[in-house]
């Protein structure tokens, strides 16, 4: 294989059998359970990387079921998103993500810089309750519940939320262990269709784990729960801040 052939084929690791295919990545019947809660403002501020700024001491704990996704197949993920401000732009900072499929773990980390780790999240309906359970190495670290489809929510409200900008901290080390890439990345969900949205009584419990510290952002008050069914495309990102440029 010549050097030019390497460059022609190089897209992702490993060279001869990439862990994921090129995008775009379309998601059909993507289902969200989002529990919004109030947390300790000092603790929250300590995990938001500048130049992002905290807007309110709020965390959105998300369980996302993806039964039909281009290139990634059928998987579930869970994590914490923090409302932030970037200059005059309001959006969400993806603080932590846990999922059960190698392809989106590799693709999410390598392309965008999603903070993904291997775990076992589950989102399902049990009788009159939609629930999310996140386990890390078989140990439960998050349990969320909401009354199933108690009240419809205007789809316009959910569309605005889903199409807002999202921010990621992409970190890739050099071969000597130092940081080679350290960037703030912005991305959008595109071509979003909200098929339905509902709210209801909601609750969430977080449990401490040394390697999956979701409970480091403690639940002080549950604000809301929402259940959303959508189709969307995960847009590619842009670098909005390079920490190494200076």
Mean pLDDT for the stretch of residues 57-85: 97
Q: d(Cα 209, Cα 49) in Å, to the nearest integer? A: 22
Instruction: Answer whether residue 150 is part of any domain.
Output: yes
Cβ contact 177:42 at 8 Å: no
Neighbours of 221 (CB within 10 A): 10
Q: Which residues are catalytic?
A: 116
Q: What is the pTM of this model?
A: 0.96
Can you give the pLDDT at residue 69? Answer: 96
Q: Residue 21 to residues 17, 71, 121, 234: CA-CA distances in angstroms?
A: 9, 6, 24, 14
What CATH number is attached to the domain comprising 124?
Answer: 2.40.400.10
Cβ contact 182:243 at 8 Å: yes
Q: d(Cα 61, Cα 219) in Å, to the nearest integer? A: 10
Instruction: Answer whether residue 3 is part of any domain.
Output: no
pLDDT tens digits along 87-144: 999 999 999 999 999 999 999 999 999 999 999 999 999 999 999 999 999 999 999 9
Mean pLDDT for the stretch of residues 16-36: 96
Instruction: Answer whether residue 80 is part of any domain.
Output: yes
Q: Which domain holds residue 89?
A: 23-242
pLDDT tens digits along 135-173: 999 999 999 999 999 999 999 999 999 999 999 999 999
Instruction: Answer whether residue 4 is part of any domain.
Output: no
The sign of the CA dihedral 33, 184, 188, 56 is positive
Mean pLDDT for the stretch of residues 80-85: 98
Percent above pLDDT 70 for the chain: 100
Can you give the pLDDT at residue 47? Answer: 98
Instruction: Answer whether residue 161 is part of any domain.
Output: yes
Mean pLDDT for the stretch of residues 76-91: 97
Asked if the model's pLDDT at residue 246 lies above 80, the reply is no
Asked if the model's pLDDT at residue 185 lies above 90, the reply is yes
Instruction: Answer whether residue 83 is part of any domain.
Output: yes
Can you give the pLDDT at residue 70? Answer: 95
Can you give the pLDDT at residue 207? Answer: 98
Instruction: Answer whether residue 1 is part of any domain.
Output: no
Percent above pLDDT 90 for the chain: 99
Domains contained in the chain, number = 1
Instruction: Answer whether residue 210 is part of any domain.
Output: yes
In whole numbers, what is the pLDDT of the chain averaged over residues? 97
Q: Which one, of 132, 129, 159, 165, lies nearest residue 147 by Cα? A: 129
């Amino acid at each position: 294989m010549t050097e030019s052939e390497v460059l022609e084929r190089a897209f992702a690791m490993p060279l001869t059998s990439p862990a994921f295919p090129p995008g775009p990545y379309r998601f059909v019947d993507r289902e969200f359970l989002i529990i919004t809660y109030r947390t300790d403002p000092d603790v929250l501020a300590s995990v938001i990387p500048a130049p992002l700024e905290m807007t309110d001491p709020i965390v959105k704990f998300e369980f996302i079921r993806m039964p039909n996704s281009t290139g990634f197949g059928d998987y579930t993920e869970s994590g914490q998103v923090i409302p932030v401000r970037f200059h005059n732009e309001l959006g969400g900072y993806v603080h932590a993500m846990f999922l059960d499929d190698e392809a989106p773990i590799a693709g999410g980390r390598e392309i965008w810089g999603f903070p993904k780790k291997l775990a076992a999240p589950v989102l399902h309906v049990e009788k009159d309750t939609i629930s999310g359970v996140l386990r890390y190495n078989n140990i439960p670290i998050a349990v969320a519940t909401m009354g199933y489809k108690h009240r419809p929510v205007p789809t316009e409200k959910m569309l605005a939320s889903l199409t807002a900008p999202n921010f990621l901290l992409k970190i890739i080390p050099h071969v000597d262990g130092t940081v080679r890439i350290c960037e703030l990345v912005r991305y959008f969900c595109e071509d979003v269709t909200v098929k339905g949205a509902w709210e209801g009584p909601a609750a969430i419990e977080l449990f401490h784990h040394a390697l999956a510290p979701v409970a480091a952002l403690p639940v002080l008050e549950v604000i809301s729960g929402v259940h959303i069914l959508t189709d969307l495309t995960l847009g590619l990102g842009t670098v909005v801040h390079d920490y190494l440029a200076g």
